[in-house]
Amino acid sequence: MRHPVAAALRLIGWGWILIRHDALMPREITPLLPPWLRPLAGLLHLFSGKEACTGRPGERVGRALEKLGPAAIKLGQVLATRADIFGTQFALDLGRLKDRLPPFPLDQARIEIERALGRPVESLFADLQPAIAAASLAQAHAAHLHDGRKVAIKVLRPGVEGRVAKGLDALRLAARMAERFVAPARRLEPRAFVETIARSMELELDMRLEAAAASEMAEVMQKSESDGVVLMTAPEVVWDGVGKRVLTLEWATGMPMTGPACREQPGLDTDALADNVVRAFLIQALDHGTFHADLHEGNLFASAPARLVAVDFGIVGRLGKEERRYLAEILWGFLSRDYDRIARVHFEAGYVPPSHSVEAFAQALRAVGEPVIGKQASQVSMGRLLGQLFEITALFDMRLRPELILLQKTMVSVEGVARRLNPDHDLWAAARPVVERWIRRELGPQAQVRDALEEVVSGLRALSQRIRRDADDTAIAPVVVVPRASPWPMVLGLAALAMATAALVLSL
């Protein structure tokens, strides 16, 4: 933290803004609060300003988050995907935070583009149109290249780097205070959580890195197929139009999913589209270990019958081989109702401390899974489910895993998008073919033979290196008699290799 005093003052200012907008404990929810908390809410309402007297709760919260800056707006974008938890109207009111914030002037955007690219706008673009969408960090402009191609130019907001840095300082201070003074919050690892979010936002502020991520994700998405159909695509990067504060992509086809007109497109299959959002994300995460980590409606375009195009690759999540296996096994455990397996995976991954009972944890998982597996989204209360999950994680001393923060955040957003498309969407049915295929490929008989073969090859390689080192040592040692290496390790290794190869062939 660079300036702790300034961060403290900013944190106080944030609290005051939330109170003035009646966004900290909106008066509409006061009757739902615990009795001991209602007097405090009433006290806060006395200090609310004229902003609190106009608009619905979602509108007031949206205005407050907009004043708090980019970090708070990111939170609002996630909340806006969960109409099932916070209510449809609340989510719609927050939806403007995704891509309908006030833009900065076109002339200023032109200056930013020329400064970033080091050349006049006219040298690359035949035209430059006013902003078509504006979010927390950047805004997008439509333009045409001289060869006639339509493109989208993403330009960072002037001075946004400073606002992000100041906001992150305040969040770091809030995390330290929560960790020190709020004991139940410690297992949520608030400092690690903030640092993960901070790192992702810092990467978002370099458009060259986002261009590289967009190019990488486009390749990943082309390989992310289901039944021979590519589920999600990404626009091509126009590298001549890329600089530190400017990114140019070919125009995304389809209609933005933020507007109601998108779902009214003729021939649009919203059920298939909801399935494709879930499956595309899971294929990216499980098969490739690289996924778009900001999949809300503001970053998705749809066209009939169920085509998806993703934009805004400022945040990319990555999973190691072990994390991918844990994720797949946990999902498969729920799909097959194998709660003992899910419990064992949690203990193996270190998500649950070994002092607890595997059997007791499996019992708790059953209490979570049985009411929701196979149910349509409209039959499941996500608010109640999340509350139950929070209670169980506390009961078994589970702590937040920093390496899984982006994965968990994206899963929340993806499910929210699917529910908005189809209120009766069955998340588990959508996930089953992707998870089942991964389990069969990575943990089935063929995978076991393949792993055994890899171990044999690795052992032979290590043996070969050892023999070579022994030979080098013998060559330089002042010894007349050179010991003869035994041939048996090599013979046994080759035999094992032959057996593994034969087993692999027979299993195909």
From residue 235, how far is each of 111, 117, 249, 251, 366 by CA, in Å? Answer: 25, 20, 6, 7, 43
Of the candidates 420, 383, 153, the residue with the CA atom closest to the CA atom of residue 278: 420
Q: What whole-number distance in Å separates Cα of residue 21 and Cα of residue 52?
A: 5
198 and 171 in contact (C-beta within 8 Å)?
Answer: yes
Angle at 133 between CA 49 and CA 307, to 5 degrees: 125
- Report DSSP state, residue 52: G
| 142 CB neighbour count, 10 Å cutoff | 16
Distance of CA 369 to the CA centre of its chain: 23
312 is catalytic: no
Query: Who contacts 283 (Cβ-Cβ below 8 Å, separation ≥6)?
Result: 224, 225, 226, 231, 434
Q: Is the peptide bond before 260 cis (omega within 30 degrees of 0)?
A: no
Q: Among 99, 294, 312, 426, which one carries the catalytic annotation?
A: 294
Q: How many CB atoms lie within 10 A of CB 85?
A: 18
DSSP 8-class letter at 286: I
Q: Tokens representing 146?
A: 């001289």
CB atoms within 10 A of CB 357: 13
Report the sign of the C-alpha dihedral through residues 191, 197, 198, 200, in that order.
positive
d(CA 485, CA 255): 70
CA-to-CA distance for 416 and 25, rounded, in angstroms?
23
Distance between CA atoms of 96 and 80, rounded to whole angstroms?
9
Please name the residues in contact with 292: beta carbons below 8 A apart, sequence gap of 6 or more: 217, 232, 281, 284, 299, 310, 313, 315, 316, 317, 410
Report the catalytic residues.
294
